[in-house]
A and B are shown apart, each in its own frame.
Chain A
Amino acid sequence: MIAFFIKRLAQAIVVMFVISIISFSIQDNLGDPLREMVGQSVSEAERQQLRDELGLNDPFLVQYGRFVKNALQGDLGTSYFFKEPALDVILAKLPATLELVFGASLIIIFLSVPLGVYSAINPQSLFSKAVMGLSIVGISVPVFLTAIGLIYLFAIELNWMPSYGRGETVDMFWGWESGFFTADGLAHLVLPCVSLASIMLPLFIRLIRAEMMEVLQSEYVKFAWAKGLNPRRIYFLHALKNTMLPVITVGGVQIGTMVAYTILTETVFQWPGMGFLFLEAINRVDTPLIVAYLIVVGAIFVITNTIVDLVYGLVNPTVNLAGKK
């Protein structure tokens, strides 16, 4: 277990290092941050002077060296726009994004398992066919279209749901403001979570259905039938448990992907989270923030994958984490 963690930590450091080099080397192609800081009538000489003050005229290696030196002390740079440490800015926006991902995950878990299992057990039923048909639609419609469609229908036409933002939040701990504990906050969560879930939900329904159908063909299930076990016990205890193994693996990877997808959802809903922040940072050429975001998201990927590996070990004891043979 400890060996596994140390190995993971070493991997994480390499991943972070590679991300920082890549994001640092693309930043020159994102545009000129000075342009976003000064008005259009400011002269080139003034801009050069500001660039010097910011150290933007230094050679790449000097800039990168300075960045690494500060990063090792936990300082990922200062956002040009927010004028605060980039890491603080991102961590302040993290709760909003995590709540969005959490809400979407709840929708996915509570819908995909019953629907997937049902359509595996009754592949010929009309309902299963409808679910499969809809999931094709869901997978093919881009998330921003889903989001705008939802806003149009539920916010403008029916006026049931708010159209943007997080609504009322309550202070939790460590500056975590949650929208899960007020009626207004929950109402604001519904549409963004549904849009975000719409990308992953069809995938999981299909995955669970396919896995389940395969498991139902296996020898041990046939044996269970022959033994005359209760069908409910066969489906939900024996079959489902083995179905979930690949689902957990895919799910872990997809949670990371979902954090990435929040960029679109958050932008459409003006959701004050990390994804929206990142897109804005790109528009503003706020390079320290861009680099910090990529590193934080890289860290999230590494962490979720580590957790998935641990959970995998719990569900399937035959998996050896440290990789010893």
Chain B
Amino acid sequence: MNKTVSLLAGAMMSLGLMAGANAATLKMAYDADPVSLDPHEQLSGGTMQLAHMTFDPLVRWDRNLGFEPRLAEKWERIDDLTMRFHLRKGVKFHSGNDFTAKDVLFTFNRLRTSPDFKGIFAPFAELKVIDDYTIDLVTNKPFPLVLNNVTYLFPMDSAFYTGNDANGEPKDKLVKHGNSFASRQLSGTGPYVVSERQQGVRVDFTRFDNYWDTNSPGNVDEIVLTPIKEAPTRVAALLSGDVDFIAPVPPTDHKRIVSNDKVDLVTMGGTRIITFQMNQERVEAFKDARVRQAVAYAINQEGIVKKIMRGFATPAAQMSPEGYLGYNEALKPRYDLKKAKQLMEEAGYADGFTITMMAPNNRYVNDEKIAQAVASMLAKINITVDLKTMPKAQYWGEFDERAADMMMIGWHADTEDSNNFFEFLTACPDTDSGLGQYNSGNYCNPEADKMMHEANSETDPAKRAAIMQKIEQMLYDDAAYIPLHWQNLAWAARKGVNVEPVVNVMNFPYLGDLVIEE
């Protein structure tokens, strides 16, 4: 942290202490701290959590997956391709600079150079600045997810990030693995200023005195974020009163937290789907839809959720969680062993066959145990599974090589939209367009792909929903992959720390609005 910034922060901190009649400090522990202060360096949960504390997006998701105006006060569609945003006036950056349309343009251009974020902003042709407080976002073709995608547009302070740093490098340079200005300095419009940061040890935040959102009920003046990697230690820190707020909370500790009268547990159905894919290129039998269906009938999602996840997940029969446009109510988990055996027989595989399976062992909640359960369920229809699990660091390499016949993959749609699942997980693999990048099954259904493209340019939500629900139905009937469950989310906090209203399904708690009762 540079000296002036820490001095500034120190001054602000003492100001805050003097002024704060109901000054409150939140000590919180996540499993990791943000990798960088540069909001465009990595598209990850940690970055988004940091962005929502120190920046504001143009619009943000509310609890019902609707949109809430932030730096854009209102917006309207001008034509098929253009959406006009009216920006909030009187907003200050941490540096003291005023927020205007040029900052939005600066950020938009920078996002389009970020390897992680450029995909989200690819549908946009340009951003036109109409005046200081009006911008037009123009898309290449009619695009239904303009608002979804601008939840990723957190305007950065263009004046602050312009010029060269002490090393002679441009301040706005986006470096993935280096010591850049933007990875260590930050000026946003958000509720908190980073006052001190020791990577991997702690990050201190101080409330921004000139925060524009004076209607926010938030009363937390200081936040100390400590990464605590080990789940038992994290839980112990909360129970012993060393921290006020923790996330994530492992399912094994839920009972202990619920039974403790000093802390509260908040859970919510999540949107990350856990699936298995069956590789048709490696295994001839998986080309036969009946065999895939047999596998689908042999898997007991409810059993996995109950026994392994201890109820901390929602059994799934499709990828879209409830609340997404593509969520198809009619699709239900279909565990039926008799039917499964019958289908195997019809397909001529009554005696079964042997396959290999791979899953990570530290990526998803209970991933290894889930894979073991699935393997033993498949044994009942005479499919012998040779299972290998490994740490995520090694797993992704194997996944890219499609190294096993069945592979586990979990997915969260960055756009909070069903089409994102189809594009990455079930579309016909195509290295040029990047579609089907995580479709290790090589499942390919041209008709579903056609509908997916159609949904991408359909701006009428009702029609889009109908198309995407139909895709879910097709994938279900075809048993394109094996859905298991959506992982739930959990947070735990000391009583009096009202986290419930600020947490959300994306797992970016809006800590600016957090209220601590004394």
Task: Give chain A's interface residues, CB within 8 Å of chain B.
Answer: 29-32, 35-46, 50, 54, 78, 80-84, 148, 151-152, 155-156, 159, 162-165, 267-270, 272, 276-277, 280, 282-285
Contact = CB atoms under 8 A, between A and B. Distances in A.
A313 to B, nearest CB: 41
Nearest to B239: A156
Contact of A268 (B115, B226, B233): B233
A270 B230 contact: yes
A152 B236 contact: yes
B223 interface: no
Given A37-B42, A163-B240, A165-B226, A83 B177 contact: yes
A43 B233 contact: no
A37 to B, nearest CB: 5
B42 A270 contact: no
Given A31-B393, A84-B179, 12 more contacts: A31-B396, A32-B393, A32-B397, A41-B414, A50-B115, A50-B176, A78-B178, A155-B242, A163-B236, A163-B237, A164-B226, A276-B229
B306 to A, nearest CB: 27
Interface in B25-40: 35-36
A178 to B, nearest CB: 16
Given A46-B115, A155-B236, A165-B226, A31 B179 contact: no
The 8 closest A-B pairs by CB, nearest first: A31-B393, A39-B43, A155-B240, A39-B116, A83-B179, A35-B396, A31-B394, A163-B240
A104 B256 CA distance: 31
B400 interface: yes
Contact of A43 (B239, B392, B437): B437
B108 interface: no
Contact of A82 (B180, B199, B227): B199
Contact of B116 (A42, A82, A272): A42
Among B239, B240, B395, B431, max chain A CB count under 10 A is at B240
Among A39, A151, A269, A280, max chain B CB count under 10 A is at A39
Contacts of B239: 155-156
A30 B200 contact: no
A71 B283 CA distance: 48
A78 B180 CA distance: 13
Secondary structure class of chain B's binding surface, majority of residues: loop
Interface of B: 35-36, 42-44, 115-116, 119, 176-180, 183, 198-201, 226-230, 232-233, 236-237, 239-242, 362, 391-397, 400, 411, 414, 424, 431, 434, 437-438
26 contacts: A30-B393, A31-B391, A35-B397, A43-B434, A50-B115, A78-B177, A81-B35, A81-B200, A83-B178, A84-B179, A155-B236, A155-B239, A155-B240, A163-B233, A163-B242, A164-B228, A164-B233, A267-B229, A268-B232, A268-B233, A270-B229, A270-B230, A272-B198, A272-B201, A276-B229, A280-B229
Nearest to B397: A32
Contacts of B199: 81-82
A285 B362 CA distance: 14
A80 B177 contact: yes
Contacts of B200: 81-82, 272, 277, 280
Among B178, B397, B424, max chain A CB count under 10 A is at B397
A164 B400 contact: no
B123 to A, nearest CB: 14
Nearest to A162: B242
Contacts of B424: 41
Among B177, B180, B232, B242, max chain A CB count under 10 A is at B177
Contact of A151 (B233, B394, B438): B233
A287 B178 CA distance: 15
A272 B200 CA distance: 8
Given A152-B236, A162-B242, A272-B200, A39 B391 contact: no
A232 B280 CA distance: 81
Among B180, B183, B437, max chain A CB count under 10 A is at B437
A31 B397 contact: yes
Contact of B177 (A35, A54, A148): A54
Contacts of B414: 39, 41
A162 B240 contact: yes
A151 B236 contact: yes
A307 B176 CA distance: 42
Given A32-B396, A39-B42, A280-B200, A267 B116 contact: no
Nearest to B411: A40
A38 B116 contact: yes
Contacts of B44: 39
Contacts of B397: 31-32, 35
A41 B229 contact: no
A25 B297 CA distance: 45
A177 to B, nearest CB: 10
Contacts of A40: 43, 411, 438
Contacts of B236: 148, 151-152, 155-156, 163-164
Contact of B393 (A83, A151, A272, A283): A283
B145 to A, nearest CB: 14
A38 B176 contact: yes
Contacts of A43: 119, 434, 437
A81 B179 CA distance: 10
Nearest to A188: B242
Contact of B437 (A44, A54, A163): A44
A187 to B, nearest CB: 11
A30 B177 CA distance: 18
A42 B115 contact: yes
A291 to B, nearest CB: 15
Contacts of A163: 233, 236-237, 240, 242
A129 to B, nearest CB: 34
Contacts of B179: 78, 83-84
Contacts of A44: 400, 431, 437
B352 to A, nearest CB: 33
A80 B200 CA distance: 13
Nearest to B420: A41
A29 B233 CA distance: 29
Given A83-B179, A163-B242, A270-B233, A41 B43 contact: yes
A30 B115 contact: no
Among A82, A151, A152, A280, max chain B CB count under 10 A is at A151
Nearest to A155: B240
A259 to B, nearest CB: 19
A4 to B, nearest CB: 39
Nearest to B180: A83
Among A40, A151, A272, max chain B CB count under 10 A is at A40
Nearest to A31: B393
Given A44-B431, A81-B35, A285-B393, A269 B233 contact: yes
Nearest to A281: B200
A228 B394 CA distance: 69
A79 B458 CA distance: 45
A50 to B, nearest CB: 6
Contacts of B391: 31, 283
A297 to B, nearest CB: 18
A152 to B, nearest CB: 7
A159 B236 CA distance: 11
A162 B237 CA distance: 8
A11 to B, nearest CB: 34
Given A41-B43, A270-B226, A35 B393 contact: yes
